[in-house]
Amino acid sequence: MKTYVISRADGAPDWGAAPVLNLENCPWLPNPGVAASAQLAWNDEALLVHLRARESEIRAEHTEPLGMVCEDSCLELFFRPDTADERYFNFEANPNGRMYIGINYSRARNSRQAPDGEDALFAKNARRCEGGWEIFYRIPWDFVRLFFPGYAPFSGRELRANCFKCGDLTPHPHYLSWNPCTSETPDFHRPCDFGRMILA
């Protein structure tokens, strides 16, 4: 199980200094030349996320809330805020900044979320960059507390999480992950495959 330490940020995070988490595992299909990375930080208000993909053929068709962005070029963060609770969030985003958000026990027990004012709530910023695209967003702890009442971040607190890259309907379908995926067929909804993340 891999471990990543989430840097604490005072104000805006310094992404130039935050540790990079590379998605180096390529289960199920050969890698067509896609690469992806993630950086996370946190403060008293939110978990701060930066995901980046390097891919030459970008698909960005979905523009509606809760669209199946996994069909597009897609970057994903799945995380269990409380290691004593089986539930986990999945945040899936495409280059348009559209998100599929869920709170789940498993793929079959997935409750989709479409918060009012989603763009402002998560402060999403998706953009094309050299060789690919990236997205920045925040997950407010107040949003986490809607599902985990009383949840409090603190230095040393441990989460379980995994980061993914996929593109089901891209010209070259692919799957990448940070922590290894152990299922025989494509499935990111497996908390047993999540790694450890620790708030610094």
**Phi/psi at 172 (nearest 5 deg)?**
-135, 85
Q: What is the DSSP string of 90-110?
A: EEEE-TT--EEEEEEEETTEE
Q: In total, how many domains does the chain have?
A: 1
User: Cα–Cα distance between 23 and 27 in angstroms, integer?
Assistant: 11
Is pLDDT above 90 for 90? yes
Average pLDDT over residues 95-110: 88
Residue 32 above 90 pLDDT? yes
Q: pLDDT class for 92, splitting at 50, 70, 90?
A: very high
Between these two residues, 144 and 111, which has the higher pLDDT value?
144
What is the average pLDDT value for the chain, to the nearest integer? 95
**Residue 149, CA atoms < 13 Å, CB-side half-sphere:** 0
User: Taking residues 23-49, what's their average pLDDT?
Assistant: 97
Is residue 25's pLDDT more than 90? yes
| Domain harbouring 157, CATH code | 2.60.40.1190
- pLDDT for 115 beyond 90: no
Structure tokens at 70: 């996994």
Neighbours of 164 (CB within 10 A): 25
**What is the rounded average pLDDT of the residues 116-123?**
93
Residue 118 DSSP SS3 = helix
- Parent domain of 73: 3-9+17-199
pLDDT of residue 50: 98
| pLDDT score, position 11 | 83
Reported as a single tens digit per residue, the pLDDT across 53-89 is: 999 999 999 999 889 999 999 999 999 999 999 999 9
- CB-hemisphere CA count at 13 Å for 134? 13
pLDDT confidence band for 113 (50 / 70 / 90): confident
**pLDDT of 47:** 98
Using the predicted structure, report yes or no on whether residue 112 has a pLDDT greater than 90: no
